[in-house]
Amino acid sequence: MQKQSLSLIILAAGKGTRMKSDLPKVLHKVANREMLNLVIDAAKTLNPKNITLVVSKDVLAYQNDIKSHHPELDLRFVLQKEKLGTGHATKAAIEKMGQDIADKCLILYGDTPLISSKTMTQIISNLDVCDVCIAAFECVNANMYGRLIVDKQGNLQKIVEFKDANDSEKKINLCNSGIMAINGKKISGLVNKINNNNNSQEYYLTDIVDIATNSNLTVSYSKVSELEVLGVNSKVELSQIESLKQDSLRQEMMQNGVTLIDPKSTFLSFDSKIGKNCIIYPNVFLGNGVEIGDNVEIKSFSHIENAQIGKNCIIGPFARIRPQSKIADDCKIGNFVEIKKANIGIGTKINHLSYVGDCDIGKNSNIGAGTITCNYDGKNKYKTTIGNNSFIGSNCSLIAPISIGDDCLIGAGSVINKDVDNGDLAIARSKQINIKDGVKKLSKNKY
C-alpha cells in the first residue's frame, strides 16, 4: 500500500508525576496494551510516511520494546532533554525529521489512547481547506483544558491555556484536545515563532493558532468526541479510560455475535478474538493473545491468556488457561483445571481439579480429577506426552519426562514414572492393608 503524504508526531515525554509510579505514564496499560502502543496502533492504520515520537529519558529506555510491537514501522525517537512545553517538543521532532516532513502533519499524544483512525482522518482532511486544524470538543463539566476563543462568525481566533485564562474564558465550553493537524510546508516556520511569554514560561504549541492568524494563514477547528481525546494524568483517570475501552471492546464483541451474559464483569484485551455464537459468562478475564473459535462457552471465573481455543469447547468455571496453550475443537476443560504450555487434542476432557503443564495430549482422551503432570524438578521443566483415547484415572501423578501411548488406562491414585506403551494398563500404588480391629489397637497404644 502506498504511503500517505502524512507525518505523525506523538508527544510522549510528560513526567506523569500524578501517576505516582516508577513506570513512565505512557507505558501504563489500557486493555493490556501500553497507552503509547495503542496510539501507534491507531496512527499506523493511516499508512503515514513516518512516525516520530518525542520521549523522555525514561521512555527512551523502552525504545527497543516499543519497536518490537511495530516491526513494520520505522519509528523515530527524539529525546526531549528539557521539559519546556509542547511547542518545544514539537520543534525537536521537526528538527529530527528535517526534509522528511510530509505535506500534512498530525500531532498526537501518547496518553490519549482512545483516539480512533476515523477521527484522525477527519482532522487531517480539514487541511485541504486550511493550514491549521485544531481537534476540539464541547464539555460542560469543569476541567483544565485550554479554551478555544471564537469570534461571532465562528472563526477561531486563538487558544488560551487554562492556567492563563481569565474567569470569562474559563466558562467557555469549547475545549482544546491538544491534537492538531498542520500544513507540513508551514509547520517549521510556525513552530519557530513560538515564544515562552506566559505564566509557565513554556513554549505552548497552541500559540500556533495566533501565529498562523497573524501570518494570514487559515485556521480552523474540528469537533470530535470528548471520550476519544481524554488524556491520562493519574491512576484514577487511567481506570476511567480502562472502563471506556472495555465498554468499546464489549460492544464490538456483541455486535459480532458474541453473547456476554454480564458485559460489565467481562474483561477483554485489545487483541481478543472470539468467534460467533460464543457465550461468555460473568467474571471472565481474557489476557493478551487469546483466540477463541465458534460455539465456545467460557464459564464464570475463568482466566485465559495467550492461548488458542478451538470450536465447540466448554471452558470452566474456575479454569485457568496459561500462555502457549492450544486447545483443539470439542474439548472440555472443567472447574479448577490449570493448563500451561500444553496442546490438548480434539475431544479430550479434563473435567476437574487437574494441573496439565508442558504436555501434549492426543484425541478423545480423559484426564481424571486430581491428575498432575509433574513437570518441574526444581531446576528444569520436562514434557509429558499422552496419546489418543487414553484414560488417566483420578489422583494420578505423571512424573515427566514421560510418554503414555494410545488406548492406555492408568489406574486411579497411581504415581507413573515410566513410559506406558500403547494399550497397556498401568497401576502404581501401594497395596492396601486392612488391620482387624486396628482402630481399637491403635487407641490402646496411643492412650
Query: Hey, which residues are catalytic here?
Result: 352
> Phi and psi for 283 in degrees, rounded to 5?
60, 55
Q: What is the dihedral of CA 263, 265, 270, 276, to 10 degrees?
A: -40
Q: Which of 322, 257, 324 is nearest to 285 (CA)?
A: 322
* Dihedral angle sign, alpha carbons of residues 186, 214, 132, 230: positive
Q: Are 139 and 175 in contact (CB under 8 A)?
A: yes
Q: Are 252 and 270 in contact (CB under 8 A)?
A: no
Q: Residue 238: which residues within 8 A CB-CB, separation 6 or more? A: 19, 28, 30, 232
Q: Which of 278, 176, 202 is nearest to 14 (CA)?
A: 202
Buried b (16+ CB within 10 A) or exposed e, 254-266: eeeebebeebeeb
Name the grid cell of 29. Answer: 496499560
Number of alpha carbons in the 13 Å side-chain half-sphere of residue 139: 21
What is the rounded CA–CA span in Å between residue 383 and residue 393? 19
Q: Residue 90: which residues within 8 A CB-CB, separation 6 or more? A: 9, 11, 54, 107, 187, 191, 205
Tell me if the bond preceding 401 is cis, omega within 30° of 0. yes
Number of alpha carbons in the 13 Å side-chain half-sphere of residue 104: 22
